[in-house]
Amino acid sequence: MSALLFKGAGFTYPGAPSPALRDCVLHADAGSITWLTGALGAGTSTALLLAAGLAPRHTGGERTGTVLTLGVDPALPSSGAALGGRVALVLPSPATQLSGIAETVFQEVAFAPANLGWPRARITARVSDALTALAISHLANREPGTLSGGEMQRAVIASMLVLEPDLWLLDEPTSALDTAGRALVHALLRREAVRGAAVVVASEDTDGLHQVADRLVVFADGCPVLDGPPQEVLRGERVWEAGAASTAIAGLARAAGNAAPRPLTVDEGVARWAR
C-alpha cells in the first residue's frame, strides 16, 4: 500500500480565484525517493501541504477527492494521533521552521521528541545521531537564530530526522546549501529510503536529482503531466513543454538545437561536443 496516495485530489486556497491543485493522481512508495518538479505555481508545494494534512486543516480553503497519508486521511482532526511524529515536513524558509523556544541547536532538534514525551535518554541519543548525520554536531550549543541559512536548514532537517519519520515531505530542502551540503542531504535521503521511509521532494533544482531520485513527476498547472524514471524524463522534450526544466547542460543542448535525448551532465556534454 503506498505511503502517499492522491486520487482525484484538488485544492483551492481561501480567497484564491482558481484551484492550486486539480484532479491530481499521485502515489509515493515506501523505500523510494519521489521527486516532484514544476514551474512556480504548478502545485508541487500545495501537494506537500495536502499530504501533510495542513491543507485544509491549517490553511483553510477547500479540498476535493481523496488523500491517504500512511493509510489515513490527514485532513481529519483525529489523524493527529495516527500520524503524530511519523510525517516530516521541511519547508523552503528555514527561519520560520524553528521552534521559537530553543536556546541551543541541541534543544531545537530535541523539540519534537520532548513534545511527544519520549524518555530523556532516548532523546539525547537520537539528537546526537541526527546532529552527526547532518554534520552539525559542532553547532550543538549555538543559538539557532545566529546560524547561517545553510546551517539553519541542516538544523531543521535534523529536527525531523530525529523522529525517524515514515514519510518525508521536503520543499526545496537544499536551497540554502552549497554543493557539499546538497550532496550530504541527498545521501541522507537515500539512507532514509533504504531504511524504509517514503521520501517526497518538491524542488526545481533538477541538476543533481537524477543521481538521487527513483522517480520524477513533473507538475504543470496544478496536476502531474509526466511521471517516469528521472534519466528518461530529464533527457526528453516534454519536461520543457510542461514549463519545468531539466539540467543546465540539457538546457544548453536544447538552446543549441540538439534533439532529445539530450546530455545531462558536464561529462556527457564534453563527450557530445568535444572535437
Partner 1 sequence: MSPDPGPHVGRFHPFTPLVLTLCVAVLAVAAPGPKTAAALYTTTVVAVFLGGVGRAALRALIPLAPLWFFLFLLHGVLGDGDQVVILGLSLSREGLAAAVTQACRLGAIATASLTLYASFSPARFVDAVADRGWSFSTAYLVVATLLALPRFRARALAIIDAQRSRGLRLRGSPLNRVRAIGPVTFPLLLGALAEVDERGYALETRCASGVVHRTPLDPPLDRVGDRAIRWLAGAGAVAVLLWRVFG
Partner 2 sequence: MGTMKPLLMEGVHFAFGNASVLEGVSLEMDAGAGVALLGANGAGKTTLTRLAMALLHPDQGRVITAGEPTAGRSPEDLASAVGYLFQHPEAQLFARTVRAEVGFGPERLGWATDRIGEAVDGVLLELGLSTLADHHPYDLPQPTRRLVAFAAALVARPQLLVLDEPTAGLDRAARARVADVVLARRASGTAVLAVTHDLGFAAAVLDRAIVLAGRCIAQQLPLTELLGDHPDFPAPPLLELARRLGLEGVRPAAAVLAPLLTSHPKTGTLEA
Partner 3 sequence: MNARLLALLPAAIAINLVIGGLVNAMGLPLYLDSIGTILATVLAGPAVGMLVGAIGQVLFGLINGYQWIPFGLIQIVIAVLAGVAASQAGFRSTGRSIAWGLLTGLVAGALSSIISYVLFKGVTATGTTAVVTLLRQLGLSLPVAVTASSLALDLADKAVAFLVVGALVRSLPNRMIGRFARAALAVGR
Q: Applying CB under 8 A, which residues contact partner 3?
A: 13-16, 58-61, 100
Residue ranges in 107-136 that form contacts with partner 1 under rule CB under 8 A: 107, 110-120, 123
Largest CA distance in the chain: 64
CA distances from 107 to 89, 90, 128, 152 (A): 19, 18, 11, 13
Letters for 177-196 (x = contact with partner 2 by CB under 8 A, - = none) are: -xx-----------------
Residues 6+ apart with CB under 8 A from 34: 28, 198, 199, 200, 201, 213, 214, 215, 217
CA-to-CA distance for 33 and 185, rounded, in angstroms?
A: 13
Contact stretch for partner 2 (CB under 8 A) within 26-34, 75-83, 156-164, 240-248: 240-248
Q: Which option in partner 2, partner 1, partner 3, none does residue 61 bind, with CB closer than 5 to 8 A by kind?
A: partner 3
- d(CA 177, CA 104) in angstroms, rounded, equals 21
Q: How far is the CB of 60 from partner 3 (least distance, A)?
A: 6
Letters for 2-31 (x = contact with partner 1 by CB under 8 A, - = none) are: ------------------------------
**Angstrom distance (rounded) from CA 259 to CA 262:** 7
Q: DSSP character for 259?
A: P
Residues that bind partner 2 (CB under 8 A): 15, 39-41, 92-93, 148-149, 175-176, 178-179, 204, 207, 245, 247-249, 251-253, 255-259, 265-266, 269-270, 272-275
